[in-house]
Structures are given as C-alpha cells and as structure tokens.
Amino acid sequence: MKKYYVFTLLISLCFLSAKVHGQEKQIQIVYGGNFTKDEAQFPGASIFSKDDKQVQFRHQGADLWCDIAIFYPAENKIRAKGNITLIQGDSIFMNAGQLDYNGVSQLAKAWESVSLKNTDMTLTPSDTLYFNREKQEAYYNKKGTIVDSQNTLTSDIGRYYLTPKKYQFLSRVEVVNPEYKLRSQQLDYYTTSKNAYMYGPSTIYGKEYTFYCERGYYNMTTESGYGIKNTKINYNNRIIEGDSVYFNKNRKFASATNNIVVTDTINNGVIRAHYAEVFKAKDSVFATKKAVSISLVEKDSLYMHGDTIMLTGKPDARILRAFRGAKFYKTDLSGKCDSIHFDQRTGLTQLIKKPIIWNGENQMTGDVIHLKSDPKTKSLDSLEVLNNAFIVAKDTIRKIGFNQAKGKDMFGIFENNALRFLNLIKNTELIYYLYDKEQELMGINKTICSEIAIEMVNNDISEITFITAPDGTIYPLSELPVIDRKLEGFLWFGDERIRSKDDIFGPEDLQIKLAKIRGITHPIDRENPSNTEEKTKENQLSQK
C-alpha cells in the first residue's frame, strides 16, 4: 500500500509540476520512507518520515536527507526537520536541525545547529543560514564563524560566494591566526588564495608589526599586503604612514608612497617624503621625493633635506645621510652642501663638498665643515671649519659693505645651542666696519695676524680680539677703495640663505607630481572578474 501511494503521488506531482510551474523543475522524491497527510495543520502538503533510512529529495544537482519532510508539491517547497544533510555536488555539505527549501527560487533557509562545509572551510552561524543555490551564495545576518586550515573568522554578517570561493564579512569582523589577529569593519576573503580585502577601519596585530588601514589588501599566508587609505604600520620601532603603504613580513620590507611620515619611536625622529622604503633586517630607511628628516635639538626642530635620505643602524647608533643638494634648517642655524653625514654615536655632522652655513646674519664657508653635538642631550657643542675658513656678514647699520674674517681654520663653541665663540687660526685677516655709540661710522678696520678670537651675542659679533702680532689699520671710508674692502676669496651667497624650513626645498621638489593611488574610489579586489583597475597593484608595489 505504501509503495502504491508513493507511485501515485509521483505521477500526480509530475503532472502538477508541468501544469503549474511550466518550465520550473520540480523537486524529486528519491526515497519517501513513511507517507501521510495532515490537511488541518499542513494543507496541500505531503508528509514523509524516515523508516530504516532517511527521507531523500533531489533538486537540480543537490540532494537533501532528513528525518521528516513536509513537502508542498504545488508550491515546489519543502520544510525539513531532524538530522538534515544537504549536499551539492562533491564540495558543499550543509547540516541543520530545520530547513525550508523553495524549489522555485532555490533558496534554502536553515537553522538549529547549522553548519556549511566545503573542502576548504566550515561555516557555523549562530542563528540562521541562508543558501541561495541559484546565485550560489550562502549568508547569515547574525554572528557567524568560519574555520579553515589557518584561520578562525567571525563577524556579525557574512556572505559566501561559492563560485569564486569568496567570503564577505560585515560588522565586527575578526580573524584569529596563530601568527596574527585581524579586526575589520568589512573583509572580503578568498579561501583558495587566502587573500583578504579590507574596507573601513581595519587593524592587523602581528607578532612583529601592527598594520592599520581603512582600505587595503592582505595575504593571510605570506602576511603581506598594502593599505591605500589612512594607512599606518608600527614596524620595528618605526611607525610608517602614507597614502599607500606596502609590507612583506618574509622579506622584512615595507614601502610607502605619497605624504609619507616615518617616525622613529625610540629617538623621536621623523622622516617625511613621497616615497620611502624600510628594510627591517638592515634596520634602514630610504626616502626620496621631497624627503626631509626632522629631529629635536633641545626644544628646536632640525630639518634636513636631500634628494635622497638614508637612515641606517640600530636605535642607539643611527647614521643619517642626505645626498645630492643637501640642506638643513633650525631656528638660528642653517646650511647647504652636496651631502650630509650624521653619526648618532659621536654626535658628528659632516657637511661634504661646497658647504655653507648661516648663523643669524653670518655666512661661513670652508672646504670642510663639521658640527658636533652632545650624543646624550643632542644639543650643539662645537663647530669646525677646515681649510679656507671664511665668515662674512653684511654691515647691518649703513649696509655699505661686508664684515669679513678668514683664516686657514675656524673653531666655534656653542652655549645653549647658540654660537658664542669663534677662533680663526693661521694667516688670519679681518675687515670690519667700526661704529661709535651713536652708530656713526668711525672707519674700516683692516687687520692681519696669527689668530682672531670673536665673541658672539645673539648671533652678532660682540667683541673681536687679535692674538699674536696683529698688524692693522683703521681707514676712513673715503681712503679705502671699494676694491680693497673685500678679502681675497670673498664670496657672498646671501640669495641662497635658508631662512625657514620651507626654504630647504628647491624648485625641483615643488614640481614633484604625486603617484596616482588606485582603488580609493573603486574596489581594490584584484580577484573580482569585474574589477580591472586594481589587478596589478600588489605586483607594482612589491617590485619597488
């Protein structure tokens, strides 16, 4: 009798399916077990329950097993209960306590101990899981957990796209891995490649780094990636910020593009540029494109610029180099040369090739200029100008000439970061405009001797002392020809003087065009077939 009912029912269902649903494919009964009806509670439904085997249905490549099935043939729907298993092909396995399935829309709604598995992962929602077989998508709207071979992922809202094997997580997303933890507002994650695309505030806490961005990419296997919006990496005692920041844990490398700030958290130094690279293994920073190093000297910031800046060495032994057109500025001291070399351990700053420094209104030149600072306090200590030492300042009262002094070498002493004493030695000469208390010109002092001592107050010459056999004359202005009012080797670079931190940049720095950062207004997902703009982003950054 049971087999007769089943056979009759199948014939009726096939006829009804063709008549009512046209081209819609009807859910097929593979094994019905026990059959009954309850029109009062389930009008129009056929009720199947297991005997020695579970009830089984099939629909368009998927099989459903359960203990009890309430089947609505006219509507092509099933409500399944008890030990449910839904298998699609050889890769999708769903288990639940209860499930509603619509054969027309191919939408399954599952709840009670739900899990969805494939060869890569297991998805467990806390409440209800929806599986749209037509779109090949599974999603939940309350907290869910996914476990794969490497990670445990949780979020409030999640969607799984079966064809690209991609998850999209929304709201309080967290990824836990033995090597790191990731938190994000939105995360698109591919289970095959282990690539993640982050949207909204996102933070990755690695063992050796912390990575924050509001739009970015991350490979969960290699622990490499990049951020393109409000990106910041705390990496090897350095914080790297920029419009676009890339890092690779295995290569121990990070790079940044546009509006970069690299902060030395130990020494409180900062490097700004539009392109920079950080090599963790070498403990070094390379920066270019309007690169500037900023360090604190006492309560004054020292700005150092070059076409290229390199910072190398351990935190207590940094070496700073500025190459090609190097310049520096602090409130009362500035300078320029071809390159600058600073050694943190010794406090020695070397200005290499055609050096010029300005202290207040005083211009100093020589073949070699060294500035020395206290390695502990970082305050300026002394000055060396070696070979062809020359100091020049405009006559500030009548502005008719230049005060000048020269010698083979010149040595200076700083007090409280201000230049206080200068000593010129060997074949020294001086031209100096003398004024009385009423600032009337008394004459021009022209003297030669073996050594000259100069005392400075507020960056101006306060007192001059001639040491060892001075030979000099004070000339009235009318008696000293203009051609004799300049010492041999006199050069004036007043138009090149660096008067502010902005003056360290030349025209070529101001003409730099920033690289276009892609992905700000479009998705950065390289694996989405519809997205062609960002497919090469990681390769471009990793090759720099």
Residue 520: its pLDDT value, please? Answer: 60
Residue pLDDT tens, the chain, 544 long: 344 344 344 434 443 443 444 445 899 999 999 999 999 999 999 999 999 999 999 999 999 999 999 999 999 999 999 999 999 988 899 999 999 999 999 999 999 999 999 887 899 999 999 999 999 999 999 999 999 888 899 999 999 888 888 889 999 999 998 989 999 999 998 888 888 999 999 999 988 889 999 999 999 888 898 998 889 998 778 899 999 999 898 888 999 999 999 998 887 789 999 999 998 888 889 999 999 999 877 677 889 999 999 999 888 888 999 999 999 999 889 999 999 999 989 999 999 999 999 998 899 999 999 999 888 877 889 999 999 999 999 988 888 899 999 999 999 999 887 899 999 999 999 999 998 888 889 999 999 999 999 998 888 888 899 988 889 899 998 899 989 999 999 999 999 999 999 999 988 888 888 887 776 665 677 777 665 444 444 344 333 4
**Domain spanning 355-486 has what CATH number?**
2.60.450.10
Longest dimension (CA), the chain: 140
Residue 298: its pLDDT value, please? Answer: 64
* 222 Cβ neighbours under 8 A, 6+ residues apart: 248, 249, 250
Residue 536: its pLDDT value, please? Answer: 41
Main-chain phi, psi angles of 492, to 5 degrees: -125, 125
Residue 22: its pLDDT value, please? Answer: 41
Residue 315: its pLDDT value, please? Answer: 82
**CA 154/CA 173 separation, integer angstroms:** 6
Q: Under a CB-based contact definition with an 8 Å cutoff, are residues 457 and 431 in contact?
A: no
Question: How far lies 241's CA from each of 216, 266, 498, in Å?
Answer: 13, 17, 28
Domain ranges in the chain are: 355-486
Q: What pTM was estimated for this model as a whole?
A: 0.78
* 69 Cβ neighbours under 8 A, 6+ residues apart: 47, 48, 49, 55, 57, 78, 79, 80, 81
Sign of the torsion angle spanned by Cα atoms 465, 471, 476, 480: negative
